[in-house]
Chain A
Amino acid sequence: MAFMQMTSPHAHRPGNTGHVMKLVILATLPGLITLSYFFGPGTLINVFTAGIMAMACEALVLKLRQRPVMFYINDYSALVTGVLLGLALPPYTPWWVIAVGCVSAIVLAKQLYGGMGYNPFNPAMVGYVILLISFPVEMTQWAMPRTLLAEGQALTGPIDGLAKMWFATPLDAYTGATPLDVFKQNNSQLVQHLYDTQAVFSTGRWAGAGWEWANIGFLMGGCFLLYKKVFTWHAPVSMLISLSLMAAMFNDGGSSNSGGSPLFHLLSGATMLGAFFIVTDPVSSATSNKGRMIYGAAIGILIYLIRTWGNYPDAVAFAVLLLNFAAPFIDYYTLPRTYGHNKARRGTEKEAE
Chain B
Amino acid sequence: MRKVWDIHGGVHPPENKQQSMQQALASLPLAPELVLPLNQHIGKPAIAIVAEGDTVLKGQLIAKADGPISANIHAPTSGTVSGIEDRTLPHPSGGSGPCIVISSDGKDTWAELDACENYQTLDHNTLLEKIRSAGIAGMGGAGFPAAIKLNPRGNLKIDTLILNGTECEPYITADDTLMQTRAQEVVAGAQILAQLLGNPKSILIGIEDNKPEAIRSISKALSEVENNPIEVVSFPTKYPSGGEKQLIQILTGREVPAGKLPADVGVVCQNVGSTVAAYRAVRFGEPLISRITTVVGEALEIQRNIEVPIGTPIGYILEQHGFTAANVSRLIMGGPMMGFALNTADVPVIKTTNCILAPSRAEMPAPPPAQACIRCGMCAEACPASLLPQQLFWYSMAEDLDKLEAHNIADCIECGACSYVCPSNIPLVQFYRASKGAMKQHAIDKEKSDRSRARFEFRQQRIEKAEVEKEAKRAARKVAAEAAKAKLAAKQASEGDSPKTDDTADVVAAAIAKAKTQDISPEVQLAKLERALSSASSRLDRTLARAEEAEGEKKDAILARVKDAELKVSDAKNKLAEFQARENG
Asked if residues B386 and A338 are in contact (CB atoms below 8 Å), the reply is: yes
With a 10 A CB-CB cut-off, give which of A8, A283, A331 has the most chain B CB atoms: A8
Q: Is B330 a contact of A283 with CB atoms below 8 Å?
A: no
Residues of A with C-beta under 8 A to B566? none
Interface residues of A in 163-180 (CB under 8 A from B): none
Q: Check if B92 sits within 8 Å of A351, measured CB to CB.
A: no
A116 to B371, CA, bound (A): 9
Whether B380 pairs with A337 at a CB distance below 8 angstroms is no
Does B381 lie at the interface of the complex (its beta carbon under 8 Å from any beta carbon of A)? yes
Interface of B, secondary structure class, is loop
Q: Is B83 part of the binding interface, using a Cβ–Cβ cutoff of 8 Å?
A: no
* In the bound complex, CA of A288 to CA of B371 (Å): 21
**Which one of B14, B373, B429 contacts A8 once the chains associate, using CB atoms below 8 Å?**
B429
Given known contacts A9-B429, A12-B420, is B387 in contact with A117 (CB within 8 Å)?
A: no
Q: By the criterion CB–CB under 8 Å, are B371 and A17 in contact?
A: yes
Complex CA–CA separation, A232 to B380 (angstroms): 11
Interface assignment of A115: CB less than 8 Å from any CB of chain B: yes
- Which residues of B sit under 8 angstroms from A17, Cβ to Cβ? 371-372, 374, 423-424
Provide the residues of chain B in CB contact with A348, threshold 8 Å.
Answer: 406
Which of B331-339, B456-464, B522-530, B574-582 contacts its partner? Answer: B331-339
- Tell yes or no: B369 within 8 A of A by CB: yes
Query: B341 to A283, Cβ gap below 8 A?
Result: no
Using a CB-CB cutoff of 8 Å, which residues 240-268 of chain B contact chain A? 245, 249, 255-260
Q: Is the CB of A77 within 8 A of B374?
A: yes
Contact string against A for B residues 323-349, beta-carbon threshold 8 Å, 1 for contact and 0 otherwise = 001001111101011111111110000
Interface residues of A in 282-332 (CB under 8 A from B): 282-283, 285, 287-289, 331
Kindly state whether residue A335 has any CB partner on chain B within 8 Å: yes
A-chain residues with CB within 8 Å of residue B338 when the two chains form the complex: 8-9
A336 an interface residue at 8 Å Cβ cutoff?
Answer: yes
The answer to whether B388 touches A336, judged by C-beta atoms less than 8 angstroms apart, is: yes
Interface residue? B411 (CB, 8 A) = yes
Most chain A CB within a 10 A radius of its CB, from B329, B374, B384:
B374
**CB atoms of B419 and A3 under 8 A apart:** no
Query: Size band of the B side of the interface?
Result: 35 or more
Main DSSP-derived SS at the A contact region: loop
Whether B405 sits at the interface, judged by CB under 8 Å, is: yes
A285 to B377, CA, bound (A): 11
- Which of B14, B384, B408 is the one whose CB lies under 8 Å from A341? B408
CA–CA, A4 and B332, complex, Å: 10
B258 in contact with A341 (CB, 8 Å): yes
- Partner-binding segment picked from B48-56, B109-117, B275-283, B360-368: B360-368
Most buried by A among B245, B407, B417: B407
**Structural contact, B341 and A9, CB atoms closer than 8 A:** no
- Bound-state CA distance A5–B91 (Å) is 12
User: Shortest Cβ distance from A114 into chain B, in angstroms?
Assistant: 9
Is B374 a contact partner of A340 (Cβ separation < 8 A)?
no
Does A3 lie within 8 Å of B341, measured CB to CB? yes
- Determine if B149 is an interface residue (Cβ-Cβ < 8 Å): no
Residue with the greatest number of chain A CB neighbours at <10 A, chosen from B256, B375, B405: B375
Evaluate contact between B364 and A5: CB separation under 8 angstroms: no
Q: Which residues of B contact A137 (CB under 8 A)?
A: none
From A8, A16, A338, contact of B339 by CB (8 A)? A8
Q: Tell me if B391 is interfacial: C-beta within 8 Å of chain A.
A: yes
- Give the Cβ gap from B256 to chain A, nearest Cβ, in Å: 6
B375 engages A340 (CB within 8 Å): no
CB distance from B254 to the nearest CB of A (A): 10
Residues in B neighbouring A77, C-beta threshold 8 A: 374
Smallest Cβ-Cβ distance to B387: which chain A residue: A338
Q: A13, B328: Cβ atoms under 8 Å?
A: no
Complex contacts, B366 vs chain A, CB 8 Å: 4, 6
Q: What residues on A are CB-neighbors of B384 within 8 Å?
A: 339
Tell me if A2 is interfacial: C-beta within 8 Å of chain B.
yes
Complex CA gap A8/B374 in Å reads 22
Report the Cα distance A198→B329, complex, angstroms.
68
Cβ B336 vs Cβ A340 within 8 A = no
Given A3-B331, A6-B330, also A282-B325 (CB < 8 A): no
B416 touches A8 (CB 8 A): yes
Candidates B328, B377, B423; contact of A3 at CB < 8 Å: B328
Does the CB pair A283–B375 fall under 8 Å?
yes
Neighbouring A residues of B377 by C-beta, 8 Å = 231-232, 282, 287-289
Q: Is B62 an interface residue (CB 8 A)?
A: no
In the complex, A56 Cα to B258 Cα: how many Å?
Answer: 50
Chain B residues in 8 Å Cβ range of A231: 376-377
Which residue from chain A places its CB closest to the CB of B434 in the assembled complex?
Answer: A7
A117–B381 touching, CB < 8 Å: no
Asked if A159 CB lies within 8 Å of chain B CBs, one says no
- Whole-angstrom CA separation of A192 from B411 in the bound complex: 59
Q: Is there an interface contact between A335 and B372, defined as CB atoms closer than 8 Å?
A: no
Among candidates B367, B381, B424, residue contacting A232 with C-beta atoms closer than 8 Å = B381
Whether A13 and B11, one on each chain, are in contact in the complex, defined by CB atoms closer than 8 angstroms, is yes
Given the interface pairs A11-B364, A16-B424, A339-B255, the reply to whether A349 lies near B406 with Cβ below 8 Å is yes
- Distance to closest chain B CB from A284 (angstroms): 9
Contact partners of B43 in chain A: CB under 8 A: none
Bitwise, A216-235 to B at CB < 8 A (1) or not (0) is: 00000000000001111000
Interchain pairs with CB closer than 8 A, number: 178
User: Which of A4, A7, A71 is B430 in contact with, Cβ under 8 Å?
Assistant: A7
A262 to chain B, nearest CB (A): 28
Bound Cα distance from A115 to B245, whole angstroms: 39
> Known: A335-B407, A338-B386, A339-B255. Contact between A352 and B329, CB under 8 A?
no
Which residues in B have their C-beta under 8 angstroms from that of A9?
336-338, 416-417, 419-420, 429
With A and B bound together, what is the CA distance between A230 and B386 in angstroms?
19
Query: Which A-chain residue is minimally distant from B342 (CB atoms)?
Result: A3
Contact A16 B385 (CB under 8 A): no
- Whole-angstrom CA separation of A162 from B285 in the bound complex: 89
Find out whether the CB atom of A4 lies under 8 angstroms from the CB atom of B368. no
Residue in A3, A232, A285 whose beta carbon sits within 8 Å of that of B343 in the complex? A3
Please indicate which of the listed interface residues B329, B364, B384, B408 has the most CB atoms of chain A within 10 Å of its own CB.
B408
Q: How far does the Cβ of A164 sit from chain B's closest Cβ, in whole Å?
A: 36
Supposing A3-B330, A3-B343, A10-B332 touch, asked if A341 and B411 sit within 8 A by C-beta, the answer is: yes
Shortest distance in angstroms between B425's beta carbon and chain A's nearest beta carbon?
6
Which chain B residue has the least Cβ–Cβ distance from A117?
Answer: B372
| Residue B97 lies at the interface, judged by CB distance under 8 Å to chain A | no
B170 CB within 8 Å of chain A:
yes
Q: With A and B bound together, what is the CA distance between A9 and B112 in angstroms? A: 43
Closest residue of A by beta carbon distance from B375: A282
Whether the Cβ atoms of A340 and B257 lie closer than 8 Å is yes
Q: Are B337 and A8 interface neighbours, CB within 8 A?
A: yes
**A70 lies within 8 A of chain B by Cβ:** no
Residues of B within 8 Å of A287, CB to CB, are 375, 377, 380, 388, 390-391
Q: Let me know if A241 is at the binding interface, CB within 8 A.
A: no
CB-based contact A339/B411 at 8 Å: yes
**Interface flag for B212 (CB, 8 Å):** no
Contact B411 A11 (CB under 8 A): no
Q: Is B94 interfacial (CB 8 A cutoff)?
A: yes
Answer yes or no: A75 CB below 8 A from chain B CBs.
yes
Q: Does B487 lie at the interface of the complex (its beta carbon under 8 Å from any beta carbon of A)? A: no
Among residues 208 to 246 in chain B, which have CB atoms less than 8 Å away from a CB atom of chain A? 245
Q: Is B13 an interface position by the 8 A CB rule?
A: yes
Instruction: Contacts A117-B374, A345-B406, A352-B402 given; indicate if A13 touches B420 (C-beta within 8 A).
Output: yes
Q: Say yes or no: A10 contacts B359, CB within 8 Å.
A: yes
Check: B563 CB closer than 8 A to any chain A CB: no
Binary per-residue interface labels of chain B (3-31) against chain A in the complex, 1 for a CB within 8 Å, 0 otherwise: 00000100101100000000000000000
Apart from A340-B259, A341-B257, A350-B406, what 12 extra A-B contacts exist at CB < 8 Å?
Answer: A3-B344, A4-B366, A5-B330, A10-B357, A116-B372, A117-B374, A229-B381, A282-B375, A288-B388, A345-B407, A351-B405, A351-B406
Q: What would be 25 A-B contacts, judged by CB atoms less than 8 Å apart?
A: A3-B328, A4-B329, A4-B366, A5-B341, A6-B330, A7-B430, A8-B429, A11-B170, A12-B420, A13-B11, A13-B13, A13-B420, A17-B374, A17-B424, A115-B372, A117-B372, A232-B381, A283-B375, A336-B387, A338-B408, A339-B249, A340-B257, A345-B406, A345-B408, A350-B405
